[in-house]
Amino acid sequence: MKKPKKTFLPLFYKKKPRRYLSKKQKKLLKFTLQKFLFKKKNIKSNKKFLEIGFGYGENLIHLSKNNTKKIIIGCEVYEPGIANLVKKIEAENLKNIYIYPKNIFTLFNRLEKDSIEKIFILYPDPWPKKKHFKRRLISEILLKKIHKILKKNGLIFISTDSADYLNVILIKFFLNKNFLWVNKKITNCYKRPKKLIESKYEKKAVMKGNKKYFLKFKKIS
């Protein structure tokens, strides 16, 4: 009898190994996080932004403050980053951020069709080794899921400091006829959009001397 074939998901979608958490971080995750968890039944607005892999949450905070009438949803499995965001949300009394600390695919299943205005994927792990390419976040499967939840003319913002990953991302989108590359050419990808701020990961890229690329796509069908 053949064993059932395992479905592989990029490492991003799986819960990352637990790193050391301080007592304060553990308390934030166990108690305070509950107030900011994404729950479909509690969100009535159809004006929503989504960030996939928000890291330490700098961009989510920025989006929240500059889009107070929008619902800002952040998906992340890295617990220190989640704890950091929860602390900031509470300290700054932000009312429009909701956190989903689980598998991104389970979140897709909880979001309604054509319900998201903008999606942000900032500095996803490029997995530079060939044997790890299948772990990369940007894939045909991801684009299919994004297409379902994104409104027509909705926007996707992606940033990376890997030239190789940049080419892979562009190829994935070019092969999918449902999206338009707004930048049109690479030279238009060097400047960070005003909607984004310099995150911790972007600062690391600068320190390494890596060139940064900011891509923008629109759902056209």
Helix H or strand E encompassing 209:
none
The confidence band for 10, taking pLDDT boundaries of 50, 70 and 90, is: low
What domains does the chain contain, in order, with CATH numbers?
A: 42-219 (3.40.50.150)
Picking from 206, 204, 208, the residue whose alpha carbon sits closest to that of residue 190 is: 206
Average pLDDT over residues 115-131: 96
- Residue 39: partners with Cβ closer than 8 Å, 6 or more residues away: 98
Which residues are CB-contacts of 195 (< 8 A; sequence separation ≥ 6)?
Answer: 63, 66, 157
Q: Which of 114, 125, 161, 164 is catalytic?
A: 125
Higher pLDDT, 7 or 31: 31
Averaged pLDDT score across all residues of the chain: 91
CB-CB contact of 63 with 2 (8 Å): no
pLDDT at 1 exceeding the cut of 80: no
**18 pLDDT exceeds 90?**
no
Assess whether 125 carries a catalytic annotation: yes
pLDDT in tens, 34-85: 999 999 877 878 899 999 999 999 999 999 999 999 999 999 999 999 999 9
Question: pTM to 2 decimals?
Answer: 0.91
Which residue is it, tokens 């998901």?
9
Asked if residue 5 has pLDDT above 70, the reply is: no
Q: Note whether 172 and 140 are within 8 A (CB).
A: yes
Pick 120 or 14 by higher pLDDT: 120
pLDDT band at residue 13 using 50, 70 and 90 as cut-offs: very low
Residue 173 has pLDDT above 90, yes or no: yes
Kindly state the percentage of the chain with pLDDT values over 70.
91
Q: What is the DSSP string of 125-162?
A: ----SGGGGGG-S--HHHHHHHHHHEEEEEEEEEEES-
How far, in whole angstroms, is CA 87 from its chain's centroid? 19
Closest by Cα among 44, 11, 17 to 135: 11
The per-residue pLDDT for 60 is 97
Q: Please state, in angstroms and rounded to a whole number, the distance separating the CA atoms of residues 36 and 189.
A: 34
Mean pLDDT, to the nearest integer, of 75-99?
A: 97
Q: What does the alpha-carbon distance between residue 152 and residue 58 come to, in Å, rounded to a whole number?
A: 27
